[in-house]
């Protein structure tokens, strides 16, 4: 199991993107958390096996669908200093703020 942190930029708040990410996580057997950030981006901490994480990453990178428009996804592994250390407690996949 590996953990990856994503910051998703684009039209991703107020359009159901967190729920879309949650469904993609469940279908790819990913655990973690998704949350809105005050700058308009969405953060995702995802944990799973490498193949499932690769499929999950491909699924969440949508150009235009249902009002969602992803412009850029930043990706960090656990060794990166931008990886959030404060997020450690979750079970399954959680939509924070609901």
Q: Which of 3, 18, 28, 82 is catalytic?
A: 18
> What are the beta bridge partners of residue 75?
6
Q: 18 catalytic, yes or no?
A: yes
DSSP class of residue 13?
S
Tell me the C-alpha distance between 23 and 26, whole Å: 5
Q: Which of 3, 23, 28, 36 is catalytic?
A: 36
Asked if 69 and 10 count as a contact pair (C-beta separation under 8 A), the reply is yes
Asked if 53 and 46 count as a contact pair (C-beta separation under 8 A), the reply is yes
Active site residues: 18, 36
């Amino acid at each position: 199991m590996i953990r990856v942190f994503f910051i998703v930029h684009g039209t991703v708040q107020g359009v159901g993107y967190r729920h879309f990410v949650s469904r993609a996580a469940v279908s790819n057997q990913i655990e973690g958390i998704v949350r809105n950030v005050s700058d308009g981006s969405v953060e995702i901490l995802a944990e799973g096996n490498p193949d499932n994480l690769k499929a999950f990453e491909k699924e969440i990178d949508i150009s235009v669908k249902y009002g969602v428009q992803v412009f850029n996804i930043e990706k960090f592994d656990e060794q990166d200093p931008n990886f959030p250390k404060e997020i450690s407690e979750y079970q399954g996949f959680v939509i924070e703020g609901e």
